[in-house]
Structure 1
């Protein structure tokens, strides 16, 4: 009696495709921004969250830095179909990504776009360097690196808009070319 057996199992020779969201690349439409981050606050900070937001409704994805430095900003990639369900519109996401680059550039100039810095009040200083040394020693202790400034801005957005919509964004440092640090944003659904 001959049995009709199915053919033996053969494992696949290729791995399944890695999931990637469908991105709308808005990088070329994003001009060099002259405004200050968070001024005025983005609309999504004050609009209510959608009534029913699903948890863990998409796998995490990454947004790469546009260059070798945080001051180069991040590519303006909007994952269509994912963030709308969480109440984050294209304009809000674009503003978030643009503001990260702006805050890194400001930090490179010694300015903070996020935290309150102690204002410099010029006090008369006597001596040969009196006019040029006003406030320099005191104020230099309050400057942040571009990475610290970007991380602080991400925290503000997470607390004010993303986490209540079951999203979280974190800054990751990856090994770049020539052992230089490369940056990317890691976006996950909570």
Structure 2
């Protein structure tokens, strides 16, 4: 039984050169074009309404924020949005974070705009207080000073707070995040964590990762 065998036209290149795909060459733009864009919610940017310098005259948890005591919504959806990030204003935690409020996401979880502004402001205040040797979370055991003698006795008598406070601004911010998560966010199916921006030990700033649980 005869078989029909394909014969290339005269002058054609060998079949091995026709059938093989072209050699692969790396293309930097090829991968970037196919990667999906980074998702980001529609923020209400209120950063310009604040000077960026935390007000250390107000204590973050004194009095407690309103959302610590207000009830959660009756029905809160889980995993209803992808994680998003709030960047720091500078590479220092004391500089605070940008005041970005994604109203269409957080309102459904019972976090109002004043609640969120208070939270972001408290983070910067806590870091600023830590630099000054003060704590917004814990480490507030009063130490009674001994009465001093002399002309300055009436000025130095009293109670000193945080005389042995050694927590870093990062540790203090993480401690404050723990209070907010336990008291306000987690029962509303939210969680906020602090992350460092940078690779290889080179820090270029911080960001708050907001997740729907």
TM-score, normalised on structure 2? Answer: 0.72
Q: Which runs of 5+ in 1 are unaligned?
A: 1-11, 126-135
- Note closer, same or farther for the CA distance 1:105–1:58 as it changes in structure 2 (3 Å cut): same
Task: Decide which structure has the larger Cα Rg and report it.
Answer: 2
- Residue 161 in 1 paired to residue 152 in 2? no
- Alpha-carbon distance between aligned partners in 2 of 1:96 and 1:176, rounded to the nearest angstrom: 27
Distance 1:177 1:57 in 2: 33
Matched with 1:3 is: none
Compute the RMSD of aligned alpha carbons. 2.7
Within the candidate set 85, 104, 107, 1:62 is matched to 85
| Counterpart selection for 1:79 from 102, 105, 112 | 102
Map residues 91-106 of structure 1 onto 2, 5 A cutoff. Answer: 91-106=114-129
Alpha-carbon distance in 2 for matches of 1:179, 1:15: 26
Query: In the TM superposition, what are the counterparts of 1:23-172 in structure 2 within 5 Å?
Result: 23-31=43-51, 32=53, 33=55, 34-123=57-146, 139-140=163-164, 142-172=165-195
Aligned to 1:22: 42
Q: Separation in 2 of the partners of 1:43 and 1:146?
A: 25
| DSSP-derived class of the 2:105 partner | coil
Q: Which fold has the larger relative contact order, with Cα–Cα distance below 8 Å and residues 6 or more apart in sequence? A: 1
**1:58, 1:92 → 2: CA distance?**
19
Runs of 4+ in 1 over 3 A off after TM superposition: none
SS of residue paired to 2:193: strand
Q: What is the Cα deviation at residue 120 of structure 1?
A: 2.3
| 8 Å CA contact 1:107, 1:146 repeated in 2 | yes
Question: Relative to 1, partners in 2 of residues 1:13 and 1:108: Cα closer, same or farther, differing over 3 Å?
Answer: closer
Q: Between Structure 1 and Structure 2, how many residues are aligned?
A: 170
Q: Secondary structure at the match of 1:50?
A: coil
CA contact (8 A) 1:176 1:182 kept: no
Please give the secondary structure, in 2, of the residue aligned with 1:56: coil
The 2-side partners of 1:189 and 1:180 are apart by 27
Gaps of 5+ in 2: 1-31, 149-159
Aligned partner of residue 184 in structure 1, secondary structure: strand
Structure 1 residue 183, shift from structure 2 partner: 1.0
